[in-house]
Amino acid sequence: MEPIDPAFMALLDEEYEKFKVTDSHSLLKKHLTQEVFDKIKHRVTAEGATLHDCIKSGLANPDSNIGLYAADAESYILFQELFDPVIDEYHGGFEPSQFHPISDFGDPIDLGDLNELGNYVLSTRVRCARSIEGYPFNPLLSSEMYAELEQDVGYALEDLEGDLSGKYRSLKDISSEEQEELLEKHLLFKQGDRFLEAAGASRFWPEGRGIFLNENNTLVVWVNEEDHMRIISMQEGGNIGEVYERFVRAVTILGERLPFSSSERLGFLSFCPTNLGTAIRASVHIRLPLLGEDRQTLEETAAKFNLQVRGTSGEHSEAEDYVFDISNRRRLGLTEMEALKEMYDGIREIIQLEIDMEEGNSQCRKKSY
Ligand code: ADP
Ligand code: DAR
């Protein structure tokens, strides 16, 4: 690969000097020390990824939590002095010497209903990110590559049968009104995320972007949003066993038709390092009127079970009517079933805490009579 142009290096040096004095609390700010920066800044991957390609979102958005994306699979290796400490910290301890375990989806029958009475959990969703071997990630994808990726995935989706069968539609063929309807149903991805835009994930938009939906909208596949693919199983209620069973069947069938990109150490590879390993996020939309008024207790309880609390519309959104999106935070260093169990146990605890708070309140009311 050609060495980096001196003028480009001067610009990167200048951007880094400005970034160093921001009050950013991102993992990028914490781990891109001057020593690491000087050591890796001249490196370029075989496909042409530079350090700037990986850190430009965090440089432009000092309020990032992470601030770092891999521009291609090799970035995780070539810039490991930066990626490894970020991965270790985000995934709750995953040292450079550790290896992600072999996939084990377990038996979905072991997972029942999170909330049989249906009085807290409104809906349940299990999603994973998947990248396709032979293609880089957003900053290096050309318009032609986006179109090729969309075609490759489209062919594989045609092989989904029975309750998984459905239709793929390119985003450019969906009216803005219908896009809004799908977004309100939490089926379609949000657009205009400034972190992803600054990371180079919106180039040539909407070329190669689209969504697959099965007949009853319980299986969804996003193409070329943040990752090459997001495979999503979701339904109303808390029956995570059913949601996960459908998810496992779809991922398995698609994995037999597409070469998913993975590494022995990091498992399935993704654009953002937070989605490595299993790349799974299992979530509920759960209404918590009491815990919702005590956000510190909610966050502390979630953290105890390695859960993450998001707003009603997912990342970077607020809760509406006390409906939270709560999911597993760890995706790397544990198997698929372990990630699901960690989420299952945490959600059950949170529901019990909400019940205890209700009972506590009712006891107080009785005493006050
Ligand atoms: P991702 O899940 O891809 O990491 P987001 O946090 O942006 O990204 O969530 C994507 C969409 O999925 C959002 O519209 C969010 O509201 C929706 N979502 C997440 N969990 C659930 C759930 N349990 N039920 C319904 N929609 C959900
Ligand atoms: N907001 C960005 C991304 C963090 C993880 N979310 C993803 N990958 N969708 C940040 O750096 O905070």
Whether 367 maps to a domain, the answer reads no
* Whole-number pLDDT of residue 4: 78
Indicate if 118 and 256 belong to the same structural domain: yes
Residue among 66, 115, 183, 186 whose CB has most ligand 1 atoms within 8 A, to mutate = 186
Confidence of residue 363 (pLDDT cuts 50, 70, 90): confident
How far lies 287's CA from each of 180, 242, 282, 284, in Å? 23, 21, 16, 9
Q: Which of 47, 81, 315, 338 is catalytic?
A: 315
* Whole-number pLDDT of residue 172: 98
How far lies 90's CA from each of 181, 273, 295, 310, 331, in Å? 34, 8, 21, 16, 10
Indicate if 41 and 152 belong to the same structural domain: no
Indicate if 63 and 116 belong to the same structural domain: no
Q: Atom of ligand 2 at shortest distance to CA of 66?
A: 11
In this structure, which ligand is nearest to the CA of 60? 2
Whether 142 maps to a domain, the answer reads yes
- Average of pLDDT values for 166-192? 97
Indicate if 335 and 306 belong to the same structural domain: yes
Amino acid at 283: S
Whether 363 maps to a domain, the answer reads no
* Whole-number pLDDT of residue 300: 94
* Whole-number pLDDT of residue 367: 74
Indicate if 350 and 286 belong to the same structural domain: yes
Indicate if 274 and 324 belong to the same structural domain: yes
Indicate if 332 and 256 belong to the same structural domain: yes
CA dist., res. 227 & res. 13, Å (int) = 29
pLDDT in tens, 102-155: 999 999 989 989 999 999 999 999 999 999 999 999 999 999 999 999 999 999
pLDDT in tens, 215-266: 999 999 999 999 999 999 999 999 999 999 999 999 999 999 999 999 999 9
Indicate if 115 and 78 belong to the same structural domain: no
- In the residue annotation, 274 being an active-site residue is answered as yes
Tell me how crowded residue 355 is: count the other CB atoms within 10 A of its CB. 13
**CATH number, position 216:** 3.30.590.10
pLDDT in tens, 319-343: 999 999 999 999 999 999 999 999 9
**CATH number, position 30:** 1.10.135.10
- Average of pLDDT values for 194-214? 98
Confidence of residue 316 (pLDDT cuts 50, 70, 90): confident
Contact 296, 172 (CB under 8 A): no
Indicate if 330 and 203 belong to the same structural domain: yes
Last residue of a domain, one of 34, 63, 90: 90
* Whole-number pLDDT of residue 362: 72
Domain count, the chain: 2
Indicate if 190 and 275 belong to the same structural domain: yes
Whether 103 maps to a domain, the answer reads no
Tell me how crowded residue 13 is: count the other CB atoms within 10 A of its CB. 12
Whether 301 maps to a domain, the answer reads yes
Indicate if 221 and 312 belong to the same structural domain: yes
Whether 1 maps to a domain, the answer reads no
Q: Is the pLDDT of residue 43 over 90?
A: yes
Residue among 66, 125, 227 whose CB has most ligand 1 atoms within 8 A, to mutate = 125
* Whole-number pLDDT of residue 360: 84
Indicate if 179 and 281 belong to the same structural domain: yes
Q: What is the whole-number distance in angstroms between the Cα of residue 365 and the centre of ligand 1?
A: 37
Q: Is the pLDDT of residue 1 over 70?
A: no
Higher-pLDDT residue of 369 and 109 is: 109
Q: What is the whole-number distance in angstroms between the Cα of residue 237 and the centre of ligand 1?
A: 15
Last residue of a domain, one of 33, 60, 90: 90
- Average of pLDDT values for 3-31? 94
Backbone angles phi, psi at 221, to 5 degrees: -130, 120
Could you give the percent of the chain with pLDDT greater than 70? Answer: 99
- 10 Å CB burial of residue 312 (0-12, 13-18, 19+) is middle
In this structure, which ligand is nearest to the CA of 90? 2
Please give the model's pTM, rounded to 2 decimal places.
0.96
Q: Which residues line ligand 1 (CB under 6 A)?
A: 123-125, 127, 186, 190, 230, 234, 281, 283-285, 310, 313-315, 325
- In the residue annotation, 281 being an active-site residue is answered as yes
Q: Is the pLDDT of residue 369 over 90?
A: no
Domain residues for the domain of 198 are 108-357
Q: Which of 128, 150, 272, 336 is catalytic?
A: 272
